Structure 1
Amino acid sequence: MRNSEMQDKLNYLKTFDENDIQGKIKYLIDQNFHLLTLDPDITPQKLFYFISNLSSICHNTALCLAMHLYTVWGIRLFTSQNEFVTDCLDQVKEQKKLFASLNEPSLHFIHSKNFKEKDYSITATEEEDGYLINGIKRFVSMEPLVNYLPVYCRLKNYKGNDYGIITLIIPKETKGIKVNQDWDSISMGPSESNSITFEDVFVPKENVILNSNAFVRETDVLGLLFRLAISSVYVGIGERALQYLYQKIRSQRVPHHDKPLAFFPGAQFNVAEMLILNETANSQILELCRSINEYLNSSRSYTTMKELKKKSLITKEYTTISTIKLVEFALKTVGVGGLSSRSPLAKLYQDVLAGPFHPPQKDVLYEIIAKDFLGIVPYKSRW
């Protein structure tokens, strides 16, 4: 699909009600955008271009679809594939099914020998021909439309030397699954990111897509793709703020002057600050895209992944914080009217504040980056 054709289809989303995220996603599925990362020719830059452009039109829709897209791509990249995985991916193509995000296991500073089973949110009890799953999967973006729930599960009473975490795909209609309508965040409210409870959910062994010994080795790439997707969403929000401000200050009159706000130095300085933030965020993401693409198309190593992981963390932090600053400059430029509940900028600001809370959260992210620079091995002593 040519970029111009894609943009025309995305622009049609502007005809939808702003909060009709389900309707927008169904439209995008009908246009086969949910298949983007099943394309053998997909690249990180293509994913960035699509998500950021979608986000500049509707960031809630972009966030929800991005969770499906990065997860599908990550699962497709696993070196071990079984018949069940192949069937699930075929269902995405043939039955327009959607995946939830796999999320992050959040084990950044925990050695396997110090792992506490009681502190892990989802557990798997081994049965003769499968597993009983119990626990809660939180923050399932666009939960009402999701069909497949990929989850990390800690094996109960595990005695091995690794984390004892397996990766499963659970169809959402499986008996014992309960949806909790508990999403009430002030940011990204329309994303309907509800939690899901598993109560003795039986899952056959063929639903296991990664055993515990492959967990760390195979899932690092998912973290890279997740941070690329999140960064792309927030850069798109920045683009939308710039688009709005461009139109607003060219028409907003200044009392006792004949010229619009765009002619005044203060407004121009703020616009320049916004453009610098937007341009540098775009450049940082493109560099991450280049690095991920190089990693996927060459021999992989621990050292390469370590450096790439650091770069993806820096990119996520820089793009989310830069976008918050960008929207703040936009609010400062238009004045008090930007705080109106009807103002697009007020809504963007409310949602963009979620940026630092996407995993890993800001304090953990800073700690990872600093410890790496200082040569501190967190598994031996975190503090």
Structure 2
Amino acid sequence: MTQPVQELLSDELLERFRARAAEYDAENRFFTEDLAELREIGYLSLFAQPEGGLRLAAAAQRRLATAAPATALAINMHLVWTGVARLLKDRGDDSLQFVLDEAAAGEVFAFGNSEPGNDSVLFDSNTVAEPLAAGGYRFTGRKIFTSLSPAWTRLGVFGKDSSGEQPVLVHGFLDRQSPGYRILDDWNTLGMRASQSNTTLLQGVEISAERIFRKLPVGPNSDPLIFAIFACFETLIASVYAGIGERAVQLAVQAAQTRRSQKNDSELAKDPVVRQRVARAALLMDGVYPQLEAVANDIDLLVDRGSQWFPSLVGLKIRATETAQDVVKLAIKVSGGASYFASAELSRLYRDVLAGQFHPSSEDSALNTIANAWLGPA
């Protein structure tokens, strides 16, 4: 899998991305040029290609994140939807084939499910979905962390229809040209700034019946869509933070080999404390890579992990994000005070890696999922 990813994302391409990442971060600007290059090489249609799968996408996202974490994080949201369509198709469900077709034609999909205060994630919604006579729905609510805000052409959203005897969660895609929504200019954050994940207000935006693709009961359920979303989201999120950790190790090695100790008149790579920190960082990351590859591979191969699938997915996300944070801190200790300047790459990685704790599943939610799998409900 390494060679195809290196061919897709060449070293020269990544160096351009890395240089622009600093500019995007400093200017709090969307990654317009990165997106254009990714579109040109067919990156947005990875899952629409016959050989495309989650293992390839995860490896590509890890590599992309070593250069431009915010770009990779935002592109994740497009890849989540196209990945969901591919996972469902591989399991005999063509209900989202249009997502793959439209992605191949150049459409950009974004993920508009997150809501303030909604810790039920996909199992409930604060957004109101009002049924219309022709079978469509009118959505009213507030969506946060809507990555790709300046560029998406299709936004996947869901809301709750409480008009019947039992409430249902309604999933659909709205087009950018549709009236009835507003994107706020409120993305001024500590890190992941180029993602421009602005708040989106749904103000009665209508989605026609043919763009409504699921109606599910409130609460946990076994619909394949839920597994597909969790599988793609958690695996691709883990890939981005694995890339951040990988880059931090590289920067730690560079610092150890280029910095010198005036007291010992030697490079810091000979200092036993520095050597231990670099070794610890590399050791930590070596535990993430095989777990990431195994999960992505098993999903592609339709391996049945049964009741352990959700613990596996949330466990991967937590391990990748928390390990990346620890590794970035170790790299900063090796690099010294130069990494404290805002212009330093490690300074940006430190701010970017903190975002990992805010993506679902949270640590508390993940531990609860794992405990339920091993111990049963409390």
Give the TM-score band, short-chain normalised: 0.7 to 0.9
CA separation of 1:375 and 1:216: change in aligned 2, threshold 3 A = closer
Structure 1 length-normalised TM: 0.86
- For residue 276 of structure 2, the aligned residue among 266, 269, 288 is 269
1:121–1:137 Cα contact (<8 Å) kept: no
CA–CA distance in structure 1, aligned partners of residues 169 and 51 of structure 2: 31
Q: Which residue of 2 aligns with 1:329?
A: 330
Q: Which residue of 2 aligns with 1:381?
A: none
3-state DSSP class of the match of 2:188? coil
CA separation of 1:4 and 1:207: change in aligned 2, threshold 3 A = closer
CA–CA distance in structure 2, aligned partners of residues 209 and 260 of structure 1: 60
CA–CA distance in structure 2, aligned partners of residues 376 and 87 of structure 1: 38
Gaps of 5+ in 1: 378-383
CA–CA distance in structure 2, aligned partners of residues 271 and 132 of structure 1: 54
**Percent identical:** 23
CA–CA distance in structure 1, aligned partners of residues 127 and 345 of structure 2: 39
- For residues 67-91 of structure 1, the C-alpha deviation after alignment (integer angstroms, 9 at most, x for no partner) is 1112112034435545xx5445433
Q: Residue type matched to 2:244 in 1?
A: I
Number of aligned residue pairs: 359
CA–CA distance in structure 2, aligned partners of residues 51 and 17 of structure 1: 15
Q: Which residue of 2 aligns with 1:247?
A: 254
- For residues 79-111 of structure 1, the C-alpha deviation after alignment (integer angstroms, 9 at most, x for no partner) is 5545xx5445433222x211002546967599x
2:128–2:159 Cα contact (<8 Å) kept: yes
CA–CA distance in structure 1, aligned partners of residues 100 and 297 of structure 2: 26
3-state DSSP class of the match of 2:301? helix
Q: Which residue of 2 aligns with 1:291?
A: 298
CA–CA distance in structure 2, aligned partners of residues 354 and 364 of structure 1: 16
**Residues 2-151 of structure 1: matches in 2 within 5 Å?**
2-8=4-10, 9-14=13-18, 16=20, 18-20=22-24, 21-78=31-88, 80-81=93-94, 85-94=96-105, 96-101=106-111, 103=113, 120-129=125-134, 130-151=136-157
Q: Residue type matched to 1:132 in 2?
A: R
CA–CA distance in structure 2, aligned partners of residues 109 and 247 of structure 1: 41
CA separation of 1:333 and 1:365: change in aligned 2, threshold 3 A = same
* Stretch moving more, 229-238 or 138-147: 138-147
3-state DSSP class of the match of 1:143? coil
CA–CA distance in structure 2, aligned partners of residues 3 and 374 of structure 1: 40
CA–CA distance in structure 1, aligned partners of residues 216 and 327 of structure 2: 42
Q: Which residue of 1 aligns with 2:193?
A: 189
- For residues 285-314 of structure 1, the C-alpha deviation after alignment (integer angstroms, 9 at most, x for no partner) is 12212322232xx6x6xxx45311110111
Structure 2 length-normalised TM: 0.87
- For residues 216-273 of structure 1, the C-alpha deviation after alignment (integer angstroms, 9 at most, x for no partner) is 5022221011000000000100111112222222111111332111111111000110
**Residues 175-324 of structure 1: matches in 2 within 5 Å?**
175-212=179-216, 216-217=222-223, 218-295=225-302, 304-324=305-325
3-state DSSP class of the match of 1:359? coil
Displacement after TM superposition at 1:322 (Å) = 0.6
Q: Residue type matched to 1:253 in 2?
A: R
1:291–1:308 Cα contact (<8 Å) kept: no
Q: Which residue of 1 aligns with 2:160?
A: 154
CA–CA distance in structure 2, aligned partners of residues 33 and 109 of structure 1: 28
CA–CA distance in structure 1, aligned partners of residues 121 and 72 of structure 2: 31
3-state DSSP class of the match of 1:212? strand
Q: Which residue of 2 aligns with 1:380?
A: none
CA–CA distance in structure 2, aligned partners of residues 16 and 151 of structure 1: 31
Gaps of 5+ in 2: 25-30
1:278–1:323 Cα contact (<8 Å) kept: yes
CA–CA distance in structure 1, aligned partners of residues 159 and 207 of structure 2: 12
CA–CA distance in structure 2, aligned partners of residues 320 and 195 of structure 1: 23
3-state DSSP class of the match of 1:138? strand
CA–CA distance in structure 2, aligned partners of residues 27 and 61 of structure 1: 12
Displacement after TM superposition at 1:122 (Å) = 1.5
CA separation of 1:40 and 1:153: change in aligned 2, threshold 3 A = farther
CA–CA distance in structure 1, aligned partners of residues 339 and 21 of structure 2: 21
CA separation of 1:50 and 1:363: change in aligned 2, threshold 3 A = same
CA–CA distance in structure 2, aligned partners of residues 135 and 109 of structure 1: 15
3-state DSSP class of the match of 1:137? strand
